[in-house]
Amino acid sequence: MKIYIYLIVTLFLLLNGFSTAQTLIRDSCKKAAASSPKFKYDICVKSLEANPQSKAAKDLAGLVVASTKNAASKATSLKGSVDKILKGKKMNKLTEMPLRDCLQLYTDAIDSLNEALASVKKRDYGTVRTVLSAAMDAPSTCETGFKERKPPQKSPVTKDNDALYQMVLIPLAFSNMLK
């Protein structure tokens, strides 16, 4: 009988913890969306609710860590995709140069995101905001490289760059709320 009570209490605590995390995620995403017209609430909620670390977050700083890790993962994945495109045999020479620039931009963004993670641990939110802002420039600068070619080229990574921008905007918005 005691084991059933223990299981019921444990289940209740787990469900309550999940509910609390879900509320933290949704409330934080809602507040961030209200502060920025570029911020997409649905992407914020979906990306954080899919991340087990986000579900364990007890406060906004925990969400900054989880969302920064999400952004770093996206940047790393995108860097791998561009590297694969560059190694492909059918490389258009007009898109090669901007893709190489994008590769460096993603590398720099990953470094910035890692610095943001280290700064969150120190509660240095000024540095967090600065390096996240730097990381957020990578996708738009990458896209600009294609548009400025003569003739302008179509970027093969526009969708991914848009997604990376949103993924970096999430921890930046949250860190702005931690002032």
| Burial class for 41, CB neighbours closer than 10 Å (0-12, 13-18, 19+) | middle
pLDDT digits (tens, 9 = 90+) for 103-143: 999 999 999 999 999 999 999 999 999 999 999 999 999 99
Would you say residue 152 has pLDDT above 80? yes
Q: Is the pLDDT of residue 12 over 90?
A: no
Q: What one-letter code names the amino acid at 107?
A: T
| Residue of 4 and 148 predicted with greater confidence | 148
Which residue did the predictor score with more confidence, 171 or 9?
171
Check pLDDT > 50 for residue 51. yes
- In the predicted model, is pLDDT for residue 165 greater than 80? yes
Residue 152 three-state SS? coil
pLDDT band at 3 (very low <50, low <70, confident <90, very high): low
Q: 92 near 138, Cβ under 8 Å?
A: no
Give 13-41 pLDDT, tens digit per residue.
444 444 466 889 999 999 999 998 999 99
Separation in Å, CA 131 to CA 82, 124, 173: 23, 11, 13
φ, ψ (nearest 5 deg) of residue 154 = -85, 125
Residue 93's pLDDT is 82
**DSSP readout, 35-91?**
H-TT--HHHHHHHHHT-HHHHT--SHHHHHHHHHHHHHHHHHHHHHHHHHHHHSSS-
Domains of the chain in sequence order: 1-177 (1.20.140.40)
CA 102 to CA 81: how far, in whole Å? 11
Burial of 23 (0-12, 13-18, 19+ CB in 10 A): exposed
